[in-house]
Amino acid sequence: MAKVVIDGVDVEFEAGEKIIDVASKVNNHIPRYCYHEGLSIVAQCRMCLVEVEGQRKLVTACSTPCTDGMKVSTKSEKVKKAVSGVQEFLLVNHPLDCPICDQAGECSLQEYSYKHGQEDARTDFFRRTYIDVDMGPSIKKNMNRCIHCTRCIRYCDEVGQIHEMIAQQRGNDTEIVTIDGNPLQTAYAGGLADVCPVGSLTTKDFRFKKRVWYLRSKDTICDGCSQGCNISASFESNLIYRLEPRKNMDINKWWMCDEGRYGFHHVHSPSRVLGPLIKTSDSFESRLWGDLIPSVSALVQQAKNISVVVAADATLEEVAILKTHFSSANFYSYSPSVEKTSEDKAVDHLIRRKDKSPNLKGLEESGLRPFSELKSGSDLLIFFNAGKVRVPYGLAKLAKNAIAIGVAMKEDLNGWNYVLPSLSTYEKSGTFVNHTGMKQKFAAAIAPVGLSRPLNKILEALTKSDRKVG
């Protein structure tokens, strides 16, 4: 295999591979702003300049393909001087308002300033200023911080595939705008905040909510549709603040949609039922688990025929638990958007799917029948969900008695005898099967919220003599 020598280290490469990626293979991180693996190459920021033996001028590592025997230096004096020059140029007009910037702590400009910048500022002129601009429901722009890398423009063109962001004017007056100032149309606008290397484009959802160094994050799977995008959830004090995509070349590449990105707010919604409820004559009353279990248990035991409706945001493990516990019951799957996976399809060119639940495929493979086959009139209907699929309106009326286990909203209580709070996707571990049949395991990001309990603990309590929910 062909080899390049980067800072004295031999590295193998495949034809066409660029220096920047080949260097990454040996943990040699070449600084970059405009380059993004998932976007076309423009080599505009000039931050990735490296020296190639035999070439008079420095070349950009992001755009220069390796050739066999090429000798690259990423740390020569000439490179250091040029790179620190580029870094300085970027700061000539930068407001350096890190203390009030959401990107601070995960900002490329900050990071490279430490690594490649100069200690003192040599400029004392007024800086370019613009006012903040609203770019639609998802994104707010602070043009003062923009470093003109054009990742956002390419993201809209190439990922969102809507030509809606452009560079206006030229040179020093260049401003990144949406065409005619229109709100962004793309269903992937939130990704602009991911690709923007600085704090210029931020999501309104996360803006000013939390300094990122307080956040921890855990890998998980988006439960917003049957695609199963790989994501991470950032949280602090058991509160989730944001979701971000994780690279998975087989599923979502580097991206996720806005619906998925902002689709965690039910977890901490003030409407979420966070303690067990029992229906009274005219309302619902809260009970402690221990007080409620005997009557729930009795209701289950009296029922001659039971229907269990499992929302397709349940995990494979939960389906198995339900099937073991209610071994003689009839099981149905429920997704709000499709009846069966055969009706599922892509809804755009990228990743969004019609089936707005993450595990219908898994439920079908576990032998659950389609929801349309559910007949009314059973003694007891048990509904289980994780909150991404909402408790269906009117479902409780299909049986004499009805118990909802899972994540319910206060508006959804009508008709249920008992509402037993269980976990959202972020509070549990488990496995989803995405639309292509790929099994994806994930772990809990946060601990159970309120009095919510895992399904297995709730079901175990129903049969235990001490009636305790573990």
Partner 1 sequence: MNHEIVFSKYYGESQTEGLDYYKKHDYGYNALLKAIEMGFEKVHQEVKDSGLRGRGGAGFPCGMKWGFIPKNTEKPIYLVINADESEPGTFKDRAIMAYQPHLMIEGAIISAMTIKAHMIYVYIRGEYVKEAKILDAAIEEAYKAGYLGKNVAGTGYQLDMVVHRGAGAYICGEETALLNSLEGKRGEPRIKPPFFPAAIGLFSCPTVVNNVETLACVPMIVSKGAEWFRSFGPEKNHGMKLFCISGHVNRPGLYERPMGYPLMKLIEEDCGGIWKGRKLKAAFPGGSSAPVLTAEECNVNLDFDSLAKAGSMLGSAGIMVIDDATCILKVAIRTAHFYQVESCGQCTPCREGSMWLKELHIRLEAGEGKVSDLDLIEDICNNMDGTTICAFGEATAWPLRSMVKKFRSEYEQHVVEKRCPFEG
- Residue ranges that bind partner 1, judged by CB under 8 A: 41-47, 49, 56-58, 60, 63-65, 81-82, 85-86, 88-90, 92-93, 122-123, 125, 147-148, 150, 167, 170-174
What is the smallest separation between the CB atom of 469 and ligand FES, expressed in angstroms?
Answer: 54
Say if residue 99 is exposed, middle or buried (CB neighbours under 10 Å; 0-12, 13-18, 19+).
exposed
Give the residue nearest to ligand FES (CB).
62
Does the footprint of ligand FES cover residue 62 (CB under 6 A)?
Answer: yes
Q: Residue 45 or residue 380: which is nearer to ligand SF4 going by CB?
A: 45
Q: What is the 3-state secondary structure (H, E, C) of 394-459?
A: CHHHHEEEEEEEECCEHHHCCCCCEEEECCCHHHCCEEEECCCCCEEEECCCCCCCCCCCCHHHHH
Give the range of 41-49, 244-252, 335-343, 401-409 binding ligand FES by CB under 6 A.
Answer: 41-49
Residues of this chain, 333-362, that bind ligand SF4 according to CB under 6 A: 351-352
* Among residues 28, 60, 73, 227, the one that binds ligand FES under rule CB under 6 A: 60
Which does residue 224 touch among ligand FES, ligand SF4, partner 1, none (CB within 5 to 8 A, set by kind)? Answer: ligand SF4
Whole-angstrom distance, CA of residue 290 vs CA of residue 44: 64
Contact string 1-40 vs ligand FES (x = CB under 6 A): -------------------------------xxxx-----
Which does residue 58 touch among ligand FES, partner 1, ligand SF4, none (CB within 5 to 8 A, set by kind)? Answer: partner 1
Structure tokens at 80: 């250091």
Tell me the sheet residues that pair with 414. none
Structure tokens at 252: 């979502």
Give the range of 47-55, 192-200, 306-314, 401-409 binding ligand SF4 by CB under 6 A.
Answer: 192-200
Output the CA–CA distances (angstroms, integers) from residue 74 to 6, 29, 184, 277, in the order listed.
7, 9, 38, 64
Task: Quickly list DSSP for 24-73.
Answer: HTTT-----SS--TTS-----S-TTEEEETT-SS-EETTTPBP-TT-EEE
Torsional sign, CA 152, 156, 158, 163: negative
Contact string 224-253 vs ligand SF4 (x = CB under 6 A): xx-xxx----------------------x-
Which does residue 48 touch among partner 1, ligand SF4, ligand FES, none (CB within 5 to 8 A, set by kind)? Answer: ligand FES
Which does residue 229 touch among ligand FES, ligand SF4, partner 1, none (CB within 5 to 8 A, set by kind)? Answer: ligand SF4
Does the footprint of ligand SF4 cover residue 146 (CB under 6 A)?
Answer: yes
Q: Are 357 and 226 in contact (CB under 8 A)?
A: yes
Q: Are 243 and 231 in contact (CB under 8 A)?
A: yes
Q: Residue 23 or residue 293: which is nearer to ligand FES going by CB?
A: 23
Residue listed under structure tokens 């509402």: 419
Does the footprint of ligand SF4 cover residue 200 (CB under 6 A)?
Answer: yes
* Among residues 83, 86, 222, 382, the one that binds ligand SF4 under rule CB under 6 A: 222
Residue listed under structure tokens 């399809």: 345
Whole-angstrom distance, CA of residue 208 vs CA of residue 204: 8
Q: Residue 19 or residue 146: which is nearer to ligand SF4 going by CB?
A: 146
Q: Are 305 and 378 in contact (CB under 8 A)?
A: yes
Which does residue 207 touch among ligand SF4, partner 1, ligand FES, none (CB within 5 to 8 A, set by kind)? Answer: none
Does the footprint of ligand SF4 cover residue 31 (CB under 6 A)?
Answer: no
Q: Residue 233 or residue 256: which is nearer to ligand SF4 going by CB?
A: 256
Output the CA–CA distances (angstroms, integers) from residue 417 to 33, 300, 308, 393, in the order listed.
57, 12, 15, 14
Whole-angstrom distance, CA of residue 327 vs CA of residue 222: 30
| Phi and psi angles of residue 203, each rounded to the nearest 5 degrees, phi first | -80, 140
Query: Half-sphere exposure of 200 toward its Cβ, with a 13 Å CA cutoff?
Result: 24
Let me know the angle formed at the C-alpha of 317 by 273 and 368, rounded to the nearest 5 degrees.
Answer: 90
* Among residues 4, 6, 23, 45, the one that binds ligand FES under rule CB under 6 A: 45
| Phi and psi angles of residue 11, each rounded to the nearest 5 degrees, phi first | -135, 135
What is the smallest separation between the CB atom of 138 and partner 1, expressed in angstroms?
Answer: 25
What is the smallest separation between the CB atom of 225 and ligand SF4, expressed in angstroms?
Answer: 3
Which does residue 170 touch among ligand FES, ligand SF4, partner 1, none (CB within 5 to 8 A, set by kind)? Answer: partner 1
Does the footprint of ligand SF4 cover residue 257 (CB under 6 A)?
Answer: yes
Using CB under 6 A, list all residues that contact ligand SF4. Answer: 146-152, 176, 195-198, 200-201, 222, 224-225, 227-229, 252, 256-257, 259-260, 351-352
Using CB under 6 A, list all residues that contact ligand FES. Answer: 32-35, 43-48, 60, 62
